[in-house]
Protein backbone atom coordinates (compact mmCIF):
# COMPACT_ATOMS: atom_id res chain seq x y z
CA UNK A 1 0.00 0.00 0.00
CA UNK A 2 1.02 3.64 -0.40
CA UNK A 3 0.96 6.17 2.43
CA UNK A 4 2.28 9.63 3.19
CA UNK A 5 3.95 10.09 6.57
CA UNK A 6 4.54 13.41 8.33
CA UNK A 7 6.79 13.57 11.39
CA UNK A 8 10.02 11.61 11.73
CA UNK A 9 10.68 11.86 15.46
CA UNK A 10 11.69 8.99 17.71
CA UNK A 11 8.48 7.07 16.97
CA UNK A 12 7.77 8.32 13.46
CA UNK A 13 11.11 7.25 12.02
CA UNK A 14 10.73 3.75 13.44
CA UNK A 15 7.18 3.49 12.10
CA UNK A 16 8.36 4.47 8.63
CA UNK A 17 11.14 1.88 8.88
CA UNK A 18 8.63 -0.81 9.85
CA UNK A 19 6.33 0.18 6.99
CA UNK A 20 9.22 -0.06 4.55
CA UNK A 21 10.11 -3.48 5.94
CA UNK A 22 6.52 -4.41 5.05
CA UNK A 23 7.17 -3.19 1.46
CA UNK A 24 4.77 -0.25 1.56
CA UNK A 25 5.48 2.80 -0.60
CA UNK A 26 6.02 5.61 1.92
CA UNK A 27 6.41 9.31 1.08
CA UNK A 28 7.82 11.24 4.05
CA UNK A 29 8.16 14.81 5.23
CA UNK A 30 9.70 16.44 8.28
CA UNK A 31 10.78 20.04 8.82
CA UNK A 32 14.25 18.67 9.53
CA UNK A 33 15.41 17.59 6.11
CA UNK A 34 18.26 15.54 7.56
CA UNK A 35 15.58 13.24 9.01
CA UNK A 36 13.97 13.01 5.58
CA UNK A 37 17.32 11.95 4.12
CA UNK A 38 17.66 9.39 6.91
CA UNK A 39 14.24 7.96 6.03
CA UNK A 40 15.22 7.83 2.38
CA UNK A 41 17.92 5.40 3.50
CA UNK A 42 15.13 2.92 4.33
CA UNK A 43 13.72 3.26 0.82
CA UNK A 44 11.13 5.92 1.64
CA UNK A 45 10.55 8.76 -0.83
CA UNK A 46 11.45 12.16 0.57
CA UNK A 47 9.39 15.32 0.18
CA UNK A 48 10.54 18.92 0.57
CA UNK A 49 7.16 20.22 1.79
CA UNK A 50 3.62 19.12 2.54
CA UNK A 51 2.65 20.21 -0.97
CA UNK A 52 5.44 18.07 -2.40
CA UNK A 53 4.36 15.09 -0.28
CA UNK A 54 0.74 15.22 -1.45
CA UNK A 55 1.81 15.65 -5.08
CA UNK A 56 3.77 12.37 -4.91
CA UNK A 57 0.77 10.33 -3.72
CA UNK A 58 -1.78 8.60 -5.95
CA UNK A 59 -5.40 9.63 -5.33
CA UNK A 60 -7.32 8.82 -3.22
CA UNK A 61 -4.43 9.02 -0.79
CA UNK A 62 -3.81 8.49 2.91
CA UNK A 63 -1.51 10.64 5.06
CA UNK A 64 -0.36 9.69 8.56
CA UNK A 65 0.41 12.65 10.86
CA UNK A 66 2.85 11.90 13.69
CA UNK A 67 3.78 15.30 15.13
CA UNK A 68 3.46 16.73 18.67
CA UNK A 69 -0.12 17.21 19.88
CA UNK A 70 -1.75 20.62 20.06
CA UNK A 71 -0.73 23.43 17.72
CA UNK A 72 1.75 21.43 15.60
CA UNK A 73 -0.92 18.87 14.77
CA UNK A 74 -3.59 21.53 14.29
CA UNK A 75 -1.42 23.55 11.90
CA UNK A 76 -0.44 20.44 9.93
CA UNK A 77 -4.06 19.36 9.53
CA UNK A 78 -5.16 22.83 8.42
CA UNK A 79 -2.48 22.87 5.74
CA UNK A 80 -3.35 19.34 4.61
CA UNK A 81 -7.04 20.25 4.39
CA UNK A 82 -6.20 22.74 1.64
CA UNK A 83 -4.09 20.19 -0.23
CA UNK A 84 -6.18 17.03 -0.04
CA UNK A 85 -9.24 16.14 -2.09
CA UNK A 86 -12.51 14.27 -1.63
CA UNK A 87 -12.08 10.68 -0.40
CA UNK A 88 -8.51 11.25 0.85
CA UNK A 89 -7.76 10.17 4.43
CA UNK A 90 -5.86 11.81 7.27
CA UNK A 91 -4.67 9.57 10.14
CA UNK A 92 -3.64 11.28 13.37
CA UNK A 93 -1.35 8.94 15.29
CA UNK A 94 -0.17 11.45 17.89
CA UNK A 95 -1.38 12.03 21.44
CA UNK A 96 -4.48 14.03 20.59
CA UNK A 97 -7.38 14.72 22.94
CA UNK A 98 -10.41 12.73 21.76
CA UNK A 99 -12.72 15.76 21.73
CA UNK A 100 -10.39 17.42 19.21
CA UNK A 101 -10.76 14.37 16.96
CA UNK A 102 -14.53 14.78 16.90
CA UNK A 103 -14.22 18.45 15.93
CA UNK A 104 -11.56 17.83 13.28
CA UNK A 105 -13.47 14.96 11.72
CA UNK A 106 -16.53 17.17 11.36
CA UNK A 107 -14.48 20.00 9.81
CA UNK A 108 -12.82 17.70 7.28
CA UNK A 109 -16.12 16.01 6.47
CA UNK A 110 -17.35 19.28 4.91
CA UNK A 111 -14.61 18.81 2.30
CA UNK A 112 -15.41 15.07 2.04
CA UNK A 113 -11.99 14.26 3.53
CA UNK A 114 -11.95 11.29 5.92
CA UNK A 115 -10.36 11.40 9.37
CA UNK A 116 -9.04 8.47 11.41
CA UNK A 117 -7.59 8.72 14.92
CA UNK A 118 -4.99 6.10 15.80
CA UNK A 119 -3.98 5.81 19.43
CA UNK A 120 -0.44 4.43 19.16
CA UNK A 121 1.41 2.62 21.93
CA UNK A 122 4.82 0.99 21.73
CA UNK A 123 7.32 3.79 22.17
CA UNK A 124 10.83 3.33 20.85
CA UNK A 125 10.46 -0.47 21.04
CA UNK A 126 7.70 -0.57 18.45
CA UNK A 127 10.11 -1.10 15.57
CA UNK A 128 11.05 -4.52 16.93
CA UNK A 129 7.83 -5.72 18.54
CA UNK A 130 5.17 -3.66 16.77
CA UNK A 131 2.75 -0.94 17.86
CA UNK A 132 -0.56 -1.47 19.62
CA UNK A 133 -3.05 0.59 17.60
CA UNK A 134 -6.43 1.77 18.87
CA UNK A 135 -8.37 3.03 15.86
CA UNK A 136 -11.33 5.40 15.70
CA UNK A 137 -13.26 6.46 12.60
CA UNK A 138 -15.57 5.21 9.87
CA UNK A 139 -15.41 1.42 9.55
CA UNK A 140 -15.11 1.33 5.75
CA UNK A 141 -12.27 3.87 5.82
CA UNK A 142 -10.49 1.94 8.57
CA UNK A 143 -10.84 -1.26 6.52
CA UNK A 144 -9.21 0.51 3.58
CA UNK A 145 -6.14 1.10 5.75
CA UNK A 146 -5.89 -2.48 7.08
CA UNK A 147 -2.59 -3.25 5.31
CA UNK A 148 -0.87 -0.35 7.08
CA UNK A 149 -2.27 -1.22 10.51
CA UNK A 150 -1.41 -4.90 10.07
CA UNK A 151 2.20 -4.06 9.23
CA UNK A 152 2.67 -1.64 12.12
CA UNK A 153 1.04 -3.82 14.78
CA UNK A 154 2.01 -7.23 16.14
CA UNK A 155 -0.44 -10.10 15.62
CA UNK A 156 -3.86 -9.11 17.06
CA UNK A 157 -2.29 -5.77 18.00
CA UNK A 158 -4.78 -3.38 16.39
CA UNK A 159 -8.53 -2.91 16.56
CA UNK A 160 -11.23 -0.56 15.34
CA UNK A 161 -12.68 0.50 18.68
CA UNK A 162 -15.38 2.96 17.59
CA UNK A 163 -16.22 6.23 15.86
CA UNK A 164 -14.23 9.43 15.64
CA UNK A 165 -12.28 10.02 18.85
CA UNK A 166 -12.69 6.49 20.19
CA UNK A 167 -9.12 5.54 19.30
CA UNK A 168 -7.58 8.39 21.22
CA UNK A 169 -10.09 7.97 24.05
CA UNK A 170 -8.99 4.36 24.58
CA UNK A 171 -5.35 5.46 24.31
CA UNK A 172 -5.97 8.15 26.94
CA UNK A 173 -7.30 5.58 29.40
CA UNK A 174 -4.43 3.24 28.47
CA UNK A 175 -1.94 5.96 29.42
CA UNK A 176 -3.78 6.75 32.65
CA UNK A 177 -3.48 3.09 33.67
CA UNK A 178 0.19 3.24 32.67
CA UNK A 179 0.72 6.21 35.02
CA UNK A 180 -0.82 4.22 37.87
CA UNK A 181 1.19 1.06 37.18
CA UNK A 182 4.43 3.04 37.04
CA UNK A 183 3.60 4.77 40.32
CA UNK A 184 2.90 1.44 42.01
CA UNK A 185 6.24 0.04 40.91
CA UNK A 186 8.05 3.25 41.92
CA UNK A 187 6.62 3.22 45.45
CA UNK A 188 7.30 -0.47 45.99
CA UNK A 189 10.89 -0.27 44.81
CA UNK A 190 11.56 2.84 46.89
CA UNK A 191 10.42 0.98 49.99
CA UNK A 192 12.66 -1.97 49.11
CA UNK A 193 15.59 0.40 48.49
CA UNK A 194 15.39 1.41 52.16
CA UNK A 195 15.03 -2.13 53.49
CA UNK A 196 17.48 -3.45 56.07
CA UNK A 197 17.91 -6.50 53.81
CA UNK A 198 20.04 -4.60 51.22
CA UNK A 199 18.04 -6.10 48.39
CA UNK A 200 19.30 -6.45 44.82
CA UNK A 201 16.43 -4.57 43.20
CA UNK A 202 17.31 -5.59 39.65
CA UNK A 203 17.27 -9.23 40.76
CA UNK A 204 13.86 -8.77 42.42
CA UNK A 205 12.45 -7.08 39.30
CA UNK A 206 13.75 -9.90 37.13
CA UNK A 207 12.40 -12.50 39.56
CA UNK A 208 8.92 -11.00 39.38
CA UNK A 209 8.98 -11.39 35.59
CA UNK A 210 8.73 -15.18 36.02
CA UNK A 211 5.22 -16.21 37.01
CA UNK A 212 4.43 -13.28 39.31
CA UNK A 213 1.01 -11.64 39.08
CA UNK A 214 2.73 -8.21 38.80
CA UNK A 215 4.86 -9.15 35.77
CA UNK A 216 4.66 -6.73 32.86
CA UNK A 217 6.73 -5.05 30.17
CA UNK A 218 7.10 -2.01 32.45
CA UNK A 219 8.62 -4.27 35.10
CA UNK A 220 10.98 -5.69 32.50
CA UNK A 221 12.08 -2.13 31.69
CA UNK A 222 12.53 -1.43 35.40
CA UNK A 223 14.79 -4.47 35.70
CA UNK A 224 16.91 -3.19 32.83
CA UNK A 225 17.22 0.28 34.32
CA UNK A 226 18.21 -1.09 37.74
CA UNK A 227 20.83 -3.42 36.25
CA UNK A 228 22.49 -0.47 34.52
CA UNK A 229 22.29 1.89 37.51
CA UNK A 230 21.27 0.04 40.73
CA UNK A 231 20.70 3.22 42.78
CA UNK A 232 19.62 5.33 39.79
CA UNK A 233 22.36 7.80 40.71
CA UNK A 234 22.55 9.06 37.12
CA UNK A 235 18.93 10.25 37.08
CA UNK A 236 17.05 13.14 38.60
CA UNK A 237 13.57 12.48 39.97
CA UNK A 238 11.97 14.85 37.46
CA UNK A 239 8.97 13.31 35.68
CA UNK A 240 7.06 14.98 32.86
CA UNK A 241 3.52 14.15 31.76
CA UNK A 242 2.33 14.21 28.17
CA UNK A 243 -1.26 15.23 28.88
CA UNK A 244 -3.33 12.05 28.72
CA UNK A 245 -3.40 11.65 32.52
CA UNK A 246 -4.83 15.15 32.89
CA UNK A 247 -7.43 14.49 30.18
CA UNK A 248 -8.47 11.23 31.81
CA UNK A 249 -8.78 12.90 35.20
CA UNK A 250 -10.96 15.66 33.72
CA UNK A 251 -13.14 13.10 31.94
CA UNK A 252 -13.50 11.15 35.19
CA UNK A 253 -14.58 14.33 36.99
CA UNK A 254 -17.20 14.98 34.30
CA UNK A 255 -18.53 11.43 34.70
CA UNK A 256 -18.29 11.23 38.53
CA UNK A 257 -15.87 8.29 38.27
CA UNK A 258 -13.35 7.98 41.13
CA UNK A 259 -9.77 7.56 39.87
CA UNK A 260 -7.69 7.99 43.06
CA UNK A 261 -4.71 5.98 41.81
CA UNK A 262 -4.37 8.06 38.67
CA UNK A 263 -4.79 11.27 40.69
CA UNK A 264 -1.96 10.31 43.03
CA UNK A 265 0.31 9.30 40.14
CA UNK A 266 -0.36 12.53 38.24
CA UNK A 267 0.11 14.81 41.26
CA UNK A 268 3.31 12.98 42.17
CA UNK A 269 4.65 13.90 38.75
CA UNK A 270 3.75 17.53 39.38
CA UNK A 271 5.60 17.44 42.71
CA UNK A 272 8.67 15.89 41.08
CA UNK A 273 9.11 19.05 39.04
CA UNK A 274 9.23 21.37 42.07
CA UNK A 275 12.60 22.02 43.68
CA UNK A 276 10.74 23.69 46.54
CA UNK A 277 7.06 23.28 47.33
CA UNK A 278 5.21 26.38 48.54
CA UNK A 279 2.60 24.18 50.20
CA UNK A 280 5.26 22.40 52.24
CA UNK A 281 6.80 25.72 53.27
CA UNK A 282 3.36 26.83 54.47
CA UNK A 283 2.93 23.57 56.39
CA UNK A 284 6.23 24.25 58.16
CA UNK A 285 5.19 27.82 58.92
CA UNK A 286 1.83 26.72 60.37
CA UNK A 287 3.38 24.03 62.61
CA UNK A 288 5.86 26.58 63.86
CA UNK A 289 3.16 29.18 64.45
CA UNK A 290 0.67 27.05 66.41
CA UNK A 291 2.97 24.62 68.15
CA UNK A 292 6.39 26.18 68.18
CA UNK A 293 7.74 23.25 66.18
CA UNK A 294 11.22 23.70 64.75
CA UNK A 295 11.76 24.77 61.17
CA UNK A 296 14.72 24.91 58.83
CA UNK A 297 15.33 28.41 57.53
CA UNK A 298 17.08 29.47 54.36
Question: What would the pLDDT profile of 140-171 be if each residue is shown by its tens digit?
Answer: 999 999 999 999 999 999 999 999 999 999 99
Q: CA torsion 80→81→82→84, rounded to 10°?
A: 80
pLDDT class of 252 with cuts at 50, 70, 90: very high
Boundaries of every domain in the chain? 2-163, 171-278
pLDDT class of 256 with cuts at 50, 70, 90: very high
Average pLDDT of 47-54?
98
Cβ neighbours, 10 Å, residue 244 = 24
Query: 38 with 8: CB under 8 angstroms?
Result: yes
Strand order in the sheet with 89-92: 45-46, 25-29, 2-6, 62-65, 89-92, 114-121, 132-136, 158-162
Write the CATH number of the domain with boundaries 2-163.
Answer: 3.40.50.720
pLDDT class of 263 with cuts at 50, 70, 90: very high
Q: Do domains 2-163 and 171-278 have the same CATH topology?
A: no
Buried b (16+ CB within 10 A) or exposed e, 65-90: bbbebeeebeebbeebbebbeeebbb
CA distance 156 to 159: 8
Using alpha carbons, select from 130, 55, 206 the residue that is nearest to residue 45: 55
Using alpha carbons, select from 110, 99, 121 the residue that is nearest to residue 248: 99
> Residue 94 has what pLDDT?
94
pLDDT class of 15 with cuts at 50, 70, 90: very high
Residue 58 pLDDT exceeds 90: yes
Query: 33 with 6: CB under 8 angstroms?
Result: no
> Residue 127 has what pLDDT?
95
Average pLDDT of 51-80?
96
Q: From the candidates 2, 74, 138, 178, which is the catalytic residue? A: 178
Using alpha carbons, select from 12, 64, 67, 22 the residue that is nearest to residue 43: 22
Query: 148 with 174: CB under 8 angstroms?
Result: no
* pLDDT tens digits, 109-138: 999 999 999 999 998 889 999 999 999 999
Query: 19 with 43: CB under 8 angstroms?
Result: no
Give 128-141 as a DSSP string. HH--EEEEES-HHH
pLDDT class of 4 with cuts at 50, 70, 90: very high
Relative orientation angle of helices 217-228 and 201-208, to the nearest 10 degrees: 160
> Residue 124 has what pLDDT?
85
- Is 171 annotated in the active site? yes
pLDDT class of 240 with cuts at 50, 70, 90: very high
According to DSSP, the β-strands at 25-29 and 45-46 are parallel
Q: Which residues pair with 92 in a beta bridge?
A: 65, 117
3-class SS string, 53-119: HHHCCCCCCEEEECCCCCHHHHHHHHHHHHHCCCCCEEEECCCCCHHHHHHHHHHHHCCCCEEEEEE
Give the chain's mean pLDDT.
Answer: 97
Q: Which CATH number fits domain 171-278: 1.10.150.20, 1.10.1740.10, 3.40.190.10, 1.10.1040.10?
A: 1.10.1040.10
Residue 20 pLDDT exceeds 90: yes
Q: Which residues pair with 121 in a beta bridge?
A: 132
Residue 183 pLDDT exceeds 90: yes
CA distance 23 to 2: 9
Using alpha carbons, select from 108, 122, 104, 118 the residue that is nearest to residue 148: 118
> Residue 225 has what pLDDT?
97
- Is 59 annotated in the active site? no
CA distance 246 to 204: 32
> Residue 123 has what pLDDT?
87
* pLDDT tens digits, 222-236: 999 999 999 999 999
Q: From the candidates 171, 196, 236, 244, which is the catalytic residue? A: 171
Average pLDDT of 31-49?
98
pLDDT class of 174 with cuts at 50, 70, 90: very high
Amino acid sequence: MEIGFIGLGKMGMNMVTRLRQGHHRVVVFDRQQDLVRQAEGTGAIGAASLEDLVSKLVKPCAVWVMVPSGKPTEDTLHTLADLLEADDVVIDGGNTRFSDDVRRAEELKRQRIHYVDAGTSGGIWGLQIGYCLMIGGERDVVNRLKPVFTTLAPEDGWAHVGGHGAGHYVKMVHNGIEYSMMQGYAEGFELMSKSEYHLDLAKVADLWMHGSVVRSWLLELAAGALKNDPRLDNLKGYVQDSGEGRWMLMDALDKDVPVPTLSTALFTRFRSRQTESFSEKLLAALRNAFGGHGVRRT
